[in-house]
Structures are given as C-alpha cells and as structure tokens.
Amino acid sequence: MSFPFVASLPDWMEYIEGEAPIVLVAPHGGRRPSDAPVQDSVKVNDLHTAGLTRQLAARTGGYALINQSLDRNEIDLNRVSQVRTDAPWFPVALLELVSHLVAAYGTAKVFFVHGWNVVQPVCDLGVGLKQHGTRLVPAGKGAPTVGSAFVSEELLPFQTAGAAAGLDVALGRRYPAAAKNNFMQVFSPRFAQDESLPIRTLAELSSQEKIHAVQLELGVGLRWPGPERDRFIDIFCRTLGQAPKPLPQGGRDFSHLNLAGSDVSAGRDGAFLPVHHGAQPSRMSLHFHDLVSGLGLTGGIEFDAQASTHSGRLLLSLGGTEMLLFTGEDAASPHSNQVRIGGYVWQRHADGLSISYRGTAMRFSHPQAFIRLEDGLAASWIEPLEMRLQLSIPQPSSPPPVPIYLARLHGELRLRDRNAAIDAWGFMDMLRAEEAGRLLPRQLVSLPFGPDLGIFLARTELPEGPRSAGVIYAHGQPYPLRPSDWELDYVHEHGRPVTFELSLNPDLPDFSLSLNCQGKTTTAIPVVRHVTQGRALAVTFGMAETCWQGRQARGVYEFSEFLKKPVGRASA
C-alpha cells in the first residue's frame, strides 16, 4: 500500500513496507560525521540499531521507519520539541501508518529501537513505568504508553523468555521513557490535548488502547552482530513480534501485577565490604598492572545501599592501544555479601573478594578510539571473556588515612586468542565519587613495588583549589601523605604524557623514606569524557612503570585536563 507520507520523507529516512500490525522505528540509526568537532556535550548515535531494525522488520513482517544516516545531534526524532520544529512529517507518518493498521486489525504495536551504551546483553523496556521490587510504579511524572493487559500478556512473557535465554530484560531500570519531551510520551494521555492534530490523535488512539508503544533500550551485547543479538531477535519474534493478541481493556491500573524479582527495599547493612573505614563507602575501584603478562586491569563497582541498581566496569589493557571493556548496570541484589552486574560478580570472603566475569566484552584496538566515543564504539567488536580472580587485602595494623588499600590480585583470564595468569600487587580504593574526582582534572599514579611497599597518589583540581589523596604502605603499615610531601610532574609529547618524575619526601614521625624516581607510561589511551553540564575532559590513562633502588613497580596512571577547544571542523 502506498501512503502519502512516503513522498515527504527526507533522503536520510528509510521506509520499509510491512504486512503485520507492527511499526518499528530507529530514530538514532545515523552517524556523526568523522570530521565533526569534539565538543563538551555530544550525544552518541545508537550504533547498529538501523541494521537491527531492518532485521526485525524482515522477521516480523512489520513496517519500519529508520533514520539510516543523519546525526542525532542535528535532529533528534525522540524529542517532541525538535520534531515539532524540524521534523513535522514524523508524527504525520506515524499517524498514517497506525491509523491504517488500527482500521485493519483493531490494534497496533509500536517499538522505538534505541541503544544503551553498556556492554552487557540487556534490554530496558520504556513504557513510562519502572519496576520497583515486585511492583510496577510510575516513573516520575511519566504516563504509561501501554495498557496493563499488554504488560501482563506481552511484556512479562518477553521478560521471562529473555531470562530463560540469559538475556536481562528490565522494566524502566535506566530509561523508562517518562520525560515529557521523550517522543514515547506522545503515545499516552499526556498529549491528548496537544495543539498538533497528528500528535493529539496518536495520544487519543493510545488512550483507547488501540496503540501500545514500547521503547527498547538495547545494550551493546544485543546490538553488535553476534550470537546474543541473534538470540534477542529470536525471542522478540516469538513474543513481542507476534501479531497483537485480543486484549481486554485493562486501563492503566498496574497494582494487580506481580513481577519477577526480589524486594531489596530494606537495603544493605554494609557487610559486603571486606575492610572497614568509618562510614562504609559504596564505590570500589581497582588499579593493577601484572608484571609477567603485561596485562592491566582497572574498573570497579558502585553499590549504594539506598539505590535500586548496581553498576560495574571492567577494563583490561592487552598491550599497546588494545583493550577489552565491560560496563553494565543491574537491579540491586538482596545478598549482602555479593554484588552482581550481569555476568560480573564480586563476592566477599574472609580475607578479600572473588571477582569473576563470564559473558560478552567489547574489544577495540583503534589508537584514538575514544577521543570521539562514537568512532571508538564503531571500531569495536564483541567477543567472549571468562575471568576468575581473587583479591586479597592484608589488614593493616591501623586503618589507612584514606580508604586506599595495597592488595594482591591473582587468578586467570580466558580470551578468544589467549589465556593469561594474573598475579600482581596493586591498589583497591573505596573513594566516593566526589573524592575520586573522575569528572574533574586530575593526576593519578599507583606504584606497587610489592607486598612491603606501595605508593598511591592522586591530585584533583577543584574549583576552590587542588585536593590530594596520598598514601604509602610500608611493611603493612599505611602512612598518610600531605600535598607538600610529594611532587609529580609529567613530560608530554604530542599532547600525551610519556614520562613522569616523582619526588617523595614525607615528614612523618614514625617513618622515613626519600624516594626520587623517573617513570614512563607504557600505554596511552586518550579519551574525551563528556559531562552533563560543564566542560568535557581530555583524559589519557594506561599502564605506568618505574624503578627505584633496583626494584620495579608497575601500576596505572591518569592525566586529565579540561578540553581546550573543539577538535574537528568549525561547526557541527
């Protein structure tokens, strides 16, 4: 059937004719131009959603509208305000399609296919609601974009089928599609009085439960080509991708639904941590560089006792600019001795932690992969990773002045092309986010010489002036370092730190050490960290090494400063 709207579509918009009462939309399937400037605030396009949406349309017989090339920073089809001014043809096209389908079938399903840039194989369902324990509750001021019968008869079976296949399906965990400017809210009573006739009519049809609209936020593991994406497509086609079932008019009352999951509202008691340092922090980070294999490992977990979710990150440096990355976010676990983010698990033991991972990781080797995040993502691929490590944390004779611990990490990694044993001394810190200063200019270096000597230094540039955190471990005893006790200077080439010089002369009553050494940065990974508000950071991090009195230390470093000016063409 030929629809009038097809003639008004811009050349960057692809239309696929269908035969089933399903409409699939990929609003962010384009790409940012390679010469676009690196700016303080840039949205990443949802890579691989255009191709995935074509596959879903082919398998389900659904109709599709796909942004196949335009950068979302030019026009964002998921923002009502931008659609009104820059793409008024978009709601017209949707209305023509769904009106035809409602007339022919009585009801229609609409799916907006998005990307969530976590590596785990996760699908977050956005319908204006979020799962809280075993209940489904409104997300902020958002209105539901589906009826309650659709949730029980369509979404929950999809969630169950995903869990059986090892895919995490969440309900509004991170992206509930509840903001009024999110185009998904057009499919709710919230826009029933809108001045735009197409938008108002879409809202009316949805209020009558003739349209059920769902936002699919898909992690890297489900978008990048591979077995997990194939599994997702099969599950979608067996559940949500089927023709709509005749459903009772259940309205928007979700109180009767009993969802899978555990009630963790009671929170944690802090027992997860293997060490105690005043108020129990909820953030743990690793800084390790193995001398024999040359592999580096950084990352950590966040597990706020009051939050409904945990997040985690694992970054393996494989040499040069080649790296392996996992990031994820998961519902809070009720177990006080464990934090789990997908296949990434931290488990407390008597003398430390076991840290394991089994699943998909993102691998890349681009020398400047994440100066432009989108380019880095596009240059990456996914592959399996299996990791089993033990983190042993010797209890110091007295608490350290700051929650930074010299520790030993040992175990093994299994990658696609190698197996590697890890046995390294390094550091674990439990600094809060504001103490770590990750989104502020900072210098950081860790130098573990062995079980009897380790140095960790960090200096963050705050608006009110620099703040430092430093500690020496000598024979199991931690000693605090004041800002005046140490100097750390980097030498740069082509804008990247290549060597450093450390001078350490602490004035401590019970400890004497004068350490002066030069070191080098053996790997350099450049990144631009974008922030929600304010200036972006130009960051270089990687592996470092030094030698002092015949003893070698291998650790990690970071050097960051505010992005001085946009890199690339004059205007986006």
For the stretch 503-516, pLDDT in tens is 998 877 777 788 99
Locate the DSSP E strands across 63-160: 63-67, 108-115, 122-126, 129-132, 135-138
Model pTM score: 0.92
Say how far apart CA 211 and CA 109 lie, in whole Å: 6
- Mind listing the pLDDT tens digit for each residue in 44-89? 999 999 999 999 999 999 999 999 999 999 999 999 999 999 999 9
Domain ranges of the chain: 4-238, 283-562
Contact of 148 with 257, CB cutoff 8 Å: yes
pLDDT digits over 396-437, tens only? Answer: 777 888 889 999 999 999 999 999 999 999 999 988 777 777
More confident residue, 369 or 261: 369
Average pLDDT, the chain: 90
pLDDT level of residue 281 (50, 70, 90 thresholds): low
Q: What is the pLDDT of residue 368?
A: 73
- Residue 62: which of 206, 246, 237, 204 has the closest Cα? 237
Q: Which of 21, 168, 164, 171 is nearest to 100 (CA)?
A: 21
Environment class of 196 (CB within 10 Å of its CB; exposed 0-12, middle 13-18, buried 19+):
middle
Kindly state the tokens that stand for 562: 């505010």
Q: Which is more confidently placed, 59 or 310?
A: 59
* Residue 112, SS3 per DSSP: strand
Q: How confident is the model at residue 389 (pLDDT cuts 50, 70, 90)?
A: very high
CA–CA distance, 274 with 278 (Å, rounded to integer): 13
Rounded Cα–Cα distance for residues 431 and 282 (Å): 9
pLDDT at residue 264 above 70? no
Could you give phi then psi for residue 241, rounded to 5 degrees? -80, 0
96 vs 90: CA distance, rounded Å? 10
CATH architecture of 4-238: 3-Layer(aba) Sandwich (3.40)
Per residue in 159-181, pLDDT tens? 999 999 999 999 999 999 999 99
